[in-house]
Structure 1
């Protein structure tokens, strides 16, 4: 029982310092331990002041207790889902509930 408590405390310390939470380069470093719902834009190379395109696609992946993960939240999958060949803008959304359930969604617009 003592070992379990020590392991849980170590994992909690790592989570609170964001050492085990995957953070992309463009991800804001804010987030709540109990609940988070963040949406932020991504950067595309060689694109400045891009306006959203007429088509919009999304892709997502979800995770439960860091044990079960499913889905494909890639930019290319979001573009394929909407039939987009030229991507204009990219946005990401991250939802977290008590670190038990997490969902990553990628949104793209384009032609």
Structure 2
């Protein structure tokens, strides 16, 4: 993956809006106003999750972005979609980049 200035700008806009778990409500990640609003392009390492029901025996694994979204929806029952930063993938990428290896 090539990390461009656009990717850097997107992440710099994303970080102040996210909470401690790396979540941003999807409605906060838009541009424009009124009827001219559009969703912004997702930054690298960020995934969009819609509300989904899970069986008690099939919950998402701990430490995954799916689990973070599941817990976010538990705390915020009226939200429909959330953006979640995949911290493991981002840290692995930056660690490899810091050591001079290109992924």
The structure with more strand, counted as a fraction of residues: 1
Could you state the TM-score of these two structures normalised by the residue count of structure 2?
A: 0.25
The structure with more helix, counted as a fraction of residues: 2
